[in-house]
């Protein structure tokens, strides 16, 4: 039996839309028959602002794009600047930023899982378990660079300061405790009957559709494609560490949750390997000038950010600020198929699917 | 390691009958002529036969003398990446290129973003309207001659 269609606005201010995201959804009863994402509420014109700042100043702009993953934003930007200007980074600096990036991945995936479970109706208990672990990572970041979220830790050639002595025992303590905490979370969530019945076979994303829509990151791997840029295009020193790449089989919401959970464990392994390989030395080459002036040209270096392929397309005209700075934001591309994924499901599945896509509005709107 | 093909390698990858589309071969990319009818079949060939199935990024640059639309493609099977540039809008009036949304769905939001911020129109796009700014916004902010 069909009923009169109802069109409803969800957002931009809504607790389940993870920021200022708005959807215009048409329902037949409780079933979704159309959903149109409307974005732009957090647009700050970062790409235009970058054209008036020096290469080092732009690092602070990148922090504010995906604000749950500032370190990897820094990393993507700095790698592009280094390629454009031919700067060879210092070894210790690269290890430090790899440790920072993997810690950031643990933090970002914790947030993603926590809010996904929150959207499912497990009101705040699992979320706070995960935010507690994220808090420890933010404290580690505070030791490294003085900031918790807007880190601005990386510089062309490495990082701006070495981690202090008290950082290393704190990091080791975190690495010792975290697997145990992950076991707790897994025992609490993975086999939970409600979570399984709400997420399995909901919003299935076919692998060919996923590639065609430029979907990358954990979402693509949950659909069964082994595409991780840390493995396929190892930037920094990712070719010197080994890690597994968890893959999904179905591509439903449950797979997207499981892939993120397993990736946290792999990130912890990568940090342990980094700790074995890092050696004392300079954190940044002496010869890198304060004002970087890359020669004319362009560069694009994609990296595996927690949400997918993140890359900065920089064009230089030889000056002290980029002629053009474009951000390939994984969150925006991952939204492309949201409409196709939710059509035919109920209103309650809409938020779960949106949570499992894991977008960050700071990055979607820039 | 993803192999970034040089301009000459990209040219040799392409079918002979598309060589007439090439405007120039540069060190790390090729520049194509903005011939709308032929470009769509070229992109279909690139995706289906040459297996460049992942559209990494579409973006645009305003050089004042012209606009350039920049495409980054990756082949997941071959682990290779290529860069293609298409100049358009030399007269600065209504620059336009063909939309590739029908070939790669991933271009849908990116092309809308380019139209919104740079003012390049994508022909045959299913939903060509502003993405980030509001409907009545005057001008395209990423243009170099934009005055607030």
Dump pLDDT digits (tens) for A321-348: 999 999 999 999 888 888 898 898 988 8
Q: Which residue of A has its CA nearest to B48?
A: A212
Asked whether residue B93 carries a pLDDT value surpassing 90, the answer given is: no
Q: For chain B, state the CA radius of gyration.
A: 15
Mean pLDDT of chain A: 89
What is the pLDDT confidence band of residue B114, given thresholds at 50, 70 and 90? very high
For residue A115, what pLDDT is reported?
A: 87
Inspect the interface and report whether the beta carbons of A40 and B134 lie closer than 8 Å.
yes
For residue B8, what pLDDT is reported?
A: 80
Pairing, β B30-32 against β B80-88? parallel
Q: Is A278 helix (H, G, I), strand (E, B) or coil?
A: coil
Q: Which CATH superfamily is domain B3-90 in?
A: NADH:ubiquinone oxidoreductase Nqo5 subunit (3.30.460.80)
| Half-sphere exposure in the Cβ direction for A303 (13 Å, CA) | 24
Asked whether residue A312 carries a pLDDT value surpassing 90, the answer given is: yes
| B98 CB within 8 Å of a chain A CB | no
Give yes or no for a contact between A29 and A6, defined as CB atoms under 8 angstroms apart. no
Percent of chain A surpassing pLDDT 90: 39
Residues of chain A in contact with residue B101, where contact means CB-CB under 8 angstroms, are none
Average pLDDT over residues A33-53: 89
Residues making up chain A, counted from first to last: 366
Give yes or no for a contact between B74 and B85, defined as CB atoms under 8 angstroms apart. no
Token pair 């001659």 in the structure block, residue: B145
Tell me which residue in A239, A309, A365 faces B56 most closely, judged by beta carbons: A309
A19 or A186: which carries more pLDDT confidence? A186
Please give the Cα distance from A263 to A241 (Å, whole number): 15
For residue A327, what pLDDT is reported?
A: 92
For the beta carbon of residue B34, count every other beta carbon within 10 angstroms.
17
Average pLDDT over residues A49-74: 90
Contacts of A174 (CB under 8 A, 6+ apart): A136, A137, A140
Tell me which residue in A211, A300, A332 faces B53 most closely, judged by beta carbons: A211
Q: Indicate which CATH number applies to the domain containing A146.
A: 1.10.645.10
C-alpha distance from B2 to closest chain A C-alpha (Å): 5
Question: Which residue blocks in A150-252 are alpha helix, DSSP H?
Answer: 167-189, 193-199, 207-212, 218-222, 229-232
Please give the Cα distance from A141 to A137 (Å, whole number): 6
What is the pLDDT confidence band of residue A10, given thresholds at 50, 70 and 90? confident
- Select the residue from B74, B80, B144 to test the A interface by mutation, using most A Cβ atoms within 10 A: B74
Q: Which residue of B has its CA nearest to A220?
A: B54
Average pLDDT over residues B83-109: 88
For residue A12, what pLDDT is reported?
A: 83
For the entire predicted model, the pTM comes to: 0.90
For the beta carbon of residue A240, count every other beta carbon within 10 angstroms.
13
Tally of domains in chain A: 1
Task: Pull the structure tokens for residue A154.
Answer: 């990386």
Average pLDDT over residues A268-289: 89
The sheet with strand A297-305 has its strands ordered as: A297-305, A308-316, A324-328
Give yes or no for a contact between B114 and B60, defined as CB atoms under 8 angstroms apart. yes
Q: Residue B23 has what DSSP assignment?
A: E
Q: Residue A309 has what DSSP assignment?
A: E
Give yes or no for a contact between A338 and A215, defined as CB atoms under 8 angstroms apart. no
For residue A106, what pLDDT is reported?
A: 93
Average pLDDT over residues A170-197: 89
Angle between helical axes of A125-145 and A167-189 (0-180°, round to 10): 160
Using a 10 angstrom Cβ sphere, with 0-12 exposed, 13-18 middle and 19 or more buried, the burial of residue A230 is: buried
Asked whether residue A19 carries a pLDDT value surpassing 80, the answer given is: no
Note the ipTM here.
Answer: 0.90
For residue B64, what pLDDT is reported?
A: 87
Token pair 């935010």 in the structure block, residue: A131
Q: Is the dihedral of CA B66, B71, B72, B73 positive or negative?
A: negative
Asked whether residue A362 carries a pLDDT value surpassing 70, the answer given is: yes
Contacts of B57 (CB under 8 A, 6+ apart): A300, A311, A313, A326, A328, B70, B71, B72, B110
- Mark which residues 8-47 of B lie under 8 Å from A by CB: none
Residues A130-150 pLDDT 10s: 999 999 999 999 999 889 889
C-alpha distance from B15 to closest chain A C-alpha (Å): 22
Give yes or no for a contact between A291 and A315, defined as CB atoms under 8 angstroms apart. no
A54 or B17: which carries more pLDDT confidence? A54
Please give the Cα distance from A211 to A66 (Å, whole number): 22
Q: Is residue A94 part of a domain?
A: yes
Q: Is residue A210 part of a domain?
A: yes
For residue B72, what pLDDT is reported?
A: 92
Q: Which of A15-24, A85-94, A141-150, A173-182 has the lowest mean pLDDT?
A: A15-24
Domain boundaries, chain B: 3-90
Q: What own/partner pairs with CB < 8 Å and gap ≥ 24 does A3-12 have?
A: A3/A28, A3/A29, A5/A33, A10/A350, A12/A38, A12/A41
Asked whether residue B7 carries a pLDDT value surpassing 80, the answer given is: no
Average pLDDT over residues A252-260: 91
Q: Which residues pair with B70 in a beta bridge?
A: B59, B85
How far is residue B45 from each of residues B18, B48, B68, B71, measured CA to CA in Å?
Answer: 10, 5, 22, 15
Please give the Cα distance from A118 to A134 (Å, whole number): 16
| Per-state percent for chain A, helix, strand, coil, to nearest 5 | 50, 15, 40
**Which residue segment(s) compose the domain that A34 sits in?**
6-365
Inspect the interface and report whether the beta carbons of A300 and B105 lie closer than 8 Å.
no
Inspect the interface and report whether the beta carbons of B59 and A227 lie closer than 8 Å.
no
Asked whether residue A270 carries a pLDDT value surpassing 90, the answer given is: yes
Residue A201 CA, chain-centre distance (Å), reads: 24
Q: Is residue A1 part of a domain?
A: no
Asked whether residue B127 carries a pLDDT value surpassing 70, the answer given is: yes
C-alpha distance from A349 to closest chain B C-alpha (Å): 23
B8 or A231: which carries more pLDDT confidence? A231
For the beta carbon of residue B144, count every other beta carbon within 10 angstroms.
11
For residue A288, what pLDDT is reported?
A: 85
Average pLDDT over residues A45-65: 90
For residue A351, what pLDDT is reported?
A: 86
How far is residue A107 from each of residues A69, A170, A179, A272, measured CA to CA in Å?
Answer: 8, 16, 14, 16
Contacts of B130 (CB under 8 A, 6+ apart): B112, B115, B116, B137
For residue A17, what pLDDT is reported?
A: 66
Asked whether residue A16 carries a pLDDT value surpassing 70, the answer given is: no
């Amino acid at each position: 039996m069909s009923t009169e269609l109802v069109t409803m606005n969800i957002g931009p201010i809504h607790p389940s839309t993870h920021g200022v995201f708005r959807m215009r959804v048409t329902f037949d009863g409780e079933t979704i028959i159309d959903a149109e994402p409307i974005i732009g509420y957090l647009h700050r014109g970062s790409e235009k602002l970058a054209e008036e700042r020096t290469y080092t100043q732009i690092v602070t702009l990148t922090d504010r794009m995906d604000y749950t993953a500032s370190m990897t934003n820094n990393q993507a930007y700095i790698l592009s600047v280094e390629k454009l200007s031919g700067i060879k980074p210092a070894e210790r600096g690269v290890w430090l930023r790899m440790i920072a990036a993997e810690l950031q991945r643990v933090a970002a995936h914790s947030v993603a899982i926590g809010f996904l479970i929150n959207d499912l109706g497990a009101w705040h208990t699992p979320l706070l378990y995960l935010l507690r672990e994220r808090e420890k990572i933010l404290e580690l970041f505070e030791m490294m660079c003085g900031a918790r979220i807007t880190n601005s830790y990386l510089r062309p050639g490495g990082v701006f300061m070495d981690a202090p002595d008290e950082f290393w025992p704190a990091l080791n303590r975190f690495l010792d405790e975290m697997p145990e905490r992950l076991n707790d979370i897994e025992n609490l969530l993975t086999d939970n009957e409600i979570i399984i019945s709400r997420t399995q076979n909901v919003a299935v994303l076919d692998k060919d559709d996923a590639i065609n829509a430029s979907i990358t990151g954990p979402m693509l791997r949950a659909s069964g494609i082994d595409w991780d840029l840390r493995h396929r295009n190892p930037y920094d020193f990712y070719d010197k560490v080994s890690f597994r790449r968890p893959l999904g089989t179905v591509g439903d919401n449950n797979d997207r949750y499981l892939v993120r959970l397993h990736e946290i464990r792999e990130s912890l392994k990568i940090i342990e390997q980094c700790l074995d390989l890092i050696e004392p030395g300079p954190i940044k080459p002496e010869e890198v000038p304060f004002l970087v002036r890359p020669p004319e040209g362009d560069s694009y270096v994609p990296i595996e950010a927690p949400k997918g392929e993140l890359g900065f397309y920089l064009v230089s005209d030889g000056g002290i600020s980029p002629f053009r700075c474009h951000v390939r934001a994984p969150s925006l591309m991952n939204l492309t198929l949201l409409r196709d994924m939710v059509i035919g499901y109920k209103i309650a599945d809409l938020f779960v699917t949106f949570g499992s896509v894991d977008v960050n509005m700071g990055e979607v709107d820039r | 390691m993803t192999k970034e093909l040089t301009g000459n390698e990209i040219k040799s990858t392409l079918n002979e009958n598309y060589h007439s589309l090439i405007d120039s071969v540069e060190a790390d990319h090729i520049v194509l002529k903005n011939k709308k009818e032929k470009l769509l079949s070229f992109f279909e060939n690139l995706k289906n036969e040459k297996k460049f199935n992942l559209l990494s990024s579409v973006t645009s640059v305003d050089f004042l003398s012209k606009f350039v639309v920049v495409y980054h493609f990756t082949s997941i099977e071959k682990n290779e990446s290529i860069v293609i540039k298409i100049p358009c809008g030399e007269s600065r009036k209504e620059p336009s290129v063909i939309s590739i949304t029908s070939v790669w769905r991933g271009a849908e939001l990116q092309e809308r973003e380019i139209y919104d911020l740079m003012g390049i129109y994508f022909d045959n796009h299913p939903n060509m309207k502003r993405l980030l700014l509001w409907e009545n916004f005057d001008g395209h902010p990423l243009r170099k001659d934009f005055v607030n």
